[in-house]
A and B are shown apart, each in its own frame.
Chain A
Amino acid sequence: MADAPLTRATLLARIRDGHDTDAWREFLHLYGPVVYGFARNRGLQDADAADLMQEVLRSVARNANKMEYDPKRGTFRGWLYTVTRNKVYNFLNGQRNRPRASGDSAAQERLDAIPDRDEPGNDWELEYQRQLSAKAMDRVKGEFQKSTWSAFWGTAVEGRTPNAVGAELKMSTGAVYVAKSRVIARLRDEVKKLEAEAEAW
């Protein structure tokens, strides 16, 4: 399933078109939280992280029509990561150089915490996966019976034991495991598909 040919136009192709407001919304809600979460993890305050997120998303919007596939740049996600990382770096750097700013050394520490390479870090990836999964969930939920879905939700998302969830749903423990694996496998496929749609130039 993961290697099924892309039948839908890719997200990037759609936002390049400029008129597809749904695509833009999808794009913003997918990447906005990733950028924001990353900035927060790097020690930016809420308001600053929100500002930075706006800046990054705006710059994508401004340059969308110019974006073209360039193998040297790698994936779109990688490119966006680099842009975000640089902005965070500049922000923290500016804070460090500001005279009398509070927390000089703290800013330096946070700056140092940014890995000096362009590989997306784990926190970036986790947030990205989370956004994709949330979206995938909306898409696949309707394919399952209510009890199957509840078994998955209770165990995988809420983190309860299969025994407890099974007792509540009047399912055997084994049945809970099977139900959970079904949903997870399906979600995983959908996430892969979304990822391909979201990242292909």
Chain B
Amino acid sequence: MATADMTTDATPQVDCPSAEELRRLARGHLTDARQAVLTAHLDRCPGCQGRLDEIAADGDKLFTGCMKKLCEPPAPKDSAFWDAMSEVEAEVTGTTPSDMAGNTSANLSDLKLDFLQPTDTPGRIGRLGAFDVIRVVGRGGMGVVLAAFDESLQREVAIKVLDPQLKSNDTAQHRFCREARAAAKVSHDNIVTVYQVSEEEAAGLPYLVMQLVNGETLEDRLRRIGKLSIEEAVRVAMQAALGLAAAHEHLLIHRDIKPANILIDAATNKVKLTDFGLARAAEDLKLTRTGFVAGTPLYMAPEQARGDGVDPRSDLFSLGSVMYESLAGKPPFEGKTPLVVLRRLTDETHEPLHKLNPEVPDWLEDVIDKLLEKNPDHRYQTATELANELTVHYACLKPATMDKVEACPMTQVRSWRSLVRSRSQRKFVSLLAGTFLLGSVAGATGMYFLRPRGGASSEVALAVPDLGPAELNQTDNLKAGAVWSLSPSPDGKFVAAGMEDGTIKLWNLNGGGVSDLGKHDGSVWSVNFTPDGNRVVSASGDGTVQVWNVTSMMMEKGINNRIPVRSAAMNADQTSIVTGDATGMVKIWDIESMGPLLPGGVPDKPRQEFVHRGTISAVAFSPDGTMVASGSANKTAILWDVKTGKAVQRLIGHEGPIYSLAFSPEGDRLATVSWDHSIRIWDTKNGDLVKKIENAHEEGVWSVSYSCCGKILASAGQEGLVKVWDIDNTEKPIRVYSRHKGTVHAVHFTAKGTQLITGGRDGTIRLWKVRD
């Protein structure tokens, strides 16, 4: 309302009110009539406006001043303040920090969590095996889902504990474990990774440790927004089909594909299937209790509902039902009781989709109709077939943007070419791929494939290294588990790998196969060739650092740190080793004074000790050996002056634990990578952040390596991609490698910078040609 109108109103002009009257106005102690008069007066009397302001605040300038700052938080988002506050809060109150507690909804509070052991860790609600449980995430048909922290890997995980009621049912329990183990074999981007299957010892309760996906289920999303857009429905179905295809390859049938089992990651928007095979264990329980099929058959294939037995095509029917619901807003077969649904499911045809949603294109309706065929023989026969079909159409729906390098190799070739100008002649690149075959496949150990990509042009082959058939070893065949660390020998002939099962593998790149160099009693977090190439230094969760002679294959000496060592590195002149451990200590050891490692011996004494705090996931010597860099789970990196032992620079800015770091070859830069998805490059002289590649990966970044020229970086991510970056132009990676199945833990340029080696969760090591 315009102020001018008010000045012309009929209220007689009043003199300015007294201070006391203004005070009463601010307190609401005036009559309505008098208040109206004063309000009108305030419209046009700047003097009284100022007086009222002052009187209301009692003339307290400090108070008025702080009003303007009311919406500012006490510290910036990435400040150490927040961690420090929740730490002290947890200590002092002896409870969960309030931000965590908020996530536990009231209806979950009556859950019996008596199988949890007490914990000493502040902010956790209990302990289960090796995990500190943070909160209850939810409750499903099979049991309780908990969010927990895996101390050894410094990551959050989801734990599904079998419902204690199911415990008494041997078949159910047996199936739970068997199916979960089967699910653990499958590692795929569109499947929630099952890390391990364990049993809580005291109560004998089996539980699953899984990837924690932060996001919502498709069920939640449909409840929230009704239906999906055509493009989104196709995308979800396509990714779900890819996940199913991977599972079916391992003869694993889901049996309970429904919106509630399809998760959509909030950060990456990726679709992930969960609860593989668990439906079956639940069925066992319900059958024994009620003699009837489990749950609602809303998405079930007719043959499954009838109890005729299932095969992969039953999952496809269910996925068809989910697609139908995503687009129609309701499932194809509904009914008041399961029996009614069952009858319709087997006897009736669903309502044509275009009647419920006219926007659905014909091809999509055809795809869904084909999935919903009553006779499995009339459906798509494999999930791959369906995924292919959807992929082709999706590309048309979304023509401009392609996010994978495979889809648009030419642009990648261009940027790479402009980068490596010096090479005038580019030959057809034959590509090397290495795969550990550690199972009982006789004679095949350590073989690697050397083959050109059939029928493709050299350009494409250059952009997309082809590794031959995706001959992947699953974790169960590979007795060594995940690859945690890698180091190429300086002469480029060998690669050392630190494995989850404690072995150190030595891979002879000249066709000599793979041999065991040594063995720790815990995961080998770090391996490094000595600069002369004669030895390998390994560091392990068993609390030791060991030095192995590559020729004699013997352990020569070791350090007992007693506390798990997460990282170790040697300086260039081979006189010192720096280690970072799980208690936040950075230690420097003299190689000269190291002796043999005696079992059960007393901890050795380092030459120097620096206190960093948090788990130190990465350490490195600067190339000239004068500085040490340490990166911690507390989100900071520190540069230490070796001579004085002082922290020269504290590199603060990462929003998640730092997983890896690397000095540039000249030592003027330090690259750090973190769970916060970013790569940051710091000036080692003044600690300035000189470069930040935000969202370098869609998920956490595990490893980083500089190539010898210092202009190129390689990074490896949780989402399974390896990326190569031109430091001067980080808009986009110049290369993306996507053949690992699951997290890539380690990436390393070979000494000449012409090749990359990578290894990760899938237990394989790969060698990539980067350039000639």
Chain A residues near B (Cβ < 8 Å): 21, 24-25, 28-29, 32-33, 36-37, 40, 45-47, 49-51, 53-54, 57-58, 61, 98-102, 122, 125-127, 129-131, 133-134, 137, 156-159, 162-163, 166-167, 170-175, 177-178, 180-182, 184-185, 188, 191
Contacts and interface: CB of A to CB of B under 8 A. Distances in A.
Interface string B642-661: 00101010101000000000
Given A58-B88, A162-B49, A170-B1, A156 B67 contact: yes
Given A177-B49, A178-B39, A180-B56, A126 B92 contact: no
Interface in B51-86: 52-53, 55-58, 60, 62-71, 74-76, 79-81, 83-85
Contacts of B39: 172, 174-175, 177-178
Contacts of A99: 644
A21 B38 CA distance: 47
B70 A157 contact: yes
B42 A100 contact: no
Nearest to B653: A46
Interface in B1-24: 1, 3, 6, 22
14 contacts: A28-B85, A46-B75, A49-B80, A50-B85, A61-B91, A129-B63, A172-B3, A174-B39, A175-B42, A177-B49, A178-B26, A178-B42, A181-B52, A184-B64
Contact of B652 (A40, A46, A58, A172): A46
A174 B41 contact: yes
Given A49-B81, A184-B67, 17 more contacts: A28-B89, A33-B74, A46-B79, A47-B636, A47-B650, A58-B91, A58-B92, A100-B641, A126-B65, A126-B66, A126-B69, A133-B70, A174-B38, A174-B43, A180-B53, A181-B53, A184-B26
A169 to B, nearest CB: 10
A87 to B, nearest CB: 14
A178 B25 contact: yes
Given A21-B94, A28-B88, A163-B3, A181 B56 contact: yes
Interface of B: 1, 3, 6, 22, 25-28, 35, 38-44, 49, 52-53, 55-58, 60, 62-71, 74-76, 79-81, 83-85, 87-89, 91-95, 98, 636, 641, 644, 646, 648, 650, 652
Contacts of A47: 80, 636, 650, 652
B40 A129 contact: no
A175 B36 CA distance: 9
A130 B1 CA distance: 33
A133 B41 contact: no
A50 B80 contact: yes
A53 B92 CA distance: 14
A183 to B, nearest CB: 8
Contact of B87 (A54, A127, A129, A185): A54
Contacts of B71: 157-158
A57 B66 contact: no
Determine which residue in B3, B28, B66 has the highest number of CB atoms from chain A within 10 A of its CB, and name it.
B66
Determine which residue in B35, B62, B80 has the highest number of CB atoms from chain A within 10 A of its CB, and name it.
B80
A57 B91 CA distance: 11
A138 B418 CA distance: 59
B6 A130 contact: no
A114 to B, nearest CB: 20
Lowest 6 CB-CB distances: which A-B pairs, in order? Answer: A33-B74, A174-B42, A50-B80, A181-B56, A50-B84, A174-B43
A102 B648 CA distance: 8
A173 B66 contact: no
B688 to A, nearest CB: 14
B93 A21 contact: yes
A28 B92 contact: yes
A133 to B, nearest CB: 5
Given A50-B83, A54-B88, A133-B67, A174 B40 contact: yes
Contacts of A36: 74-75, 81, 84
Contacts of A127: 74
Contacts of A181: 22, 25-26, 52-53, 55-56
B1 to A, nearest CB: 6
Nearest to B43: A174
Contacts of A28: 85, 88-89, 92
A174 B39 CA distance: 5
B62 A129 contact: yes
Contact of B81 (A50, A100, A191): A50
Contacts of A46: 75-76, 79-81, 652
Nearest to B23: A185
A126 to B, nearest CB: 6
Contacts of B95: 21
Nearest to B58: A188
B56 A32 contact: no
A78 to B, nearest CB: 16
A95 B42 CA distance: 56
A172 B39 CA distance: 8
Contacts of B641: 100
Nearest to A99: B644
Nearest to A129: B66
A170 B644 CA distance: 67
B43 A172 contact: yes
A130 B70 CA distance: 6
B66 A172 contact: no
Nearest to A156: B67
A156 B60 CA distance: 14
Contact of A178 (B35, B57, B68, B88): B35
B80 A185 contact: no
Nearest to B52: A181
B26 to A, nearest CB: 4
Contacts of A130: 66, 69-70
A112 to B, nearest CB: 23
B80 A184 contact: no
A177 B53 contact: yes
Nearest to B83: A50
A178 B66 contact: no
Given A130-B70, A184-B56, A173 B79 contact: no
Determine which residue in B25, B60, B67, B91 has the highest number of CB atoms from chain A within 10 A of its CB, and name it.
B67
A172 B92 CA distance: 50
Given A188-B57, A188-B60, A188-B63, A25 B70 contact: no
Contacts of A191: 63
A33 B1 CA distance: 41
A192 B489 CA distance: 70
A184 B76 CA distance: 27
A125 B26 contact: no
Contacts of A101: 646
Contacts of B3: 163, 166, 172-173
B263 to A, nearest CB: 33
Contact of B70 (A33, A54, A134): A134
Contact of A188 (B35, B56, B75, B88): B56
Determine which residue in B41, B53, B58, B92 has the highest number of CB atoms from chain A within 10 A of its CB, and name it.
B92
A88 B43 CA distance: 49
A28 B89 CA distance: 7
Given A24-B92, A28-B88, A172-B1, A100 B74 contact: no
A137 B25 contact: no
A158 B71 CA distance: 9
B84 A51 contact: yes
A172 B25 CA distance: 16
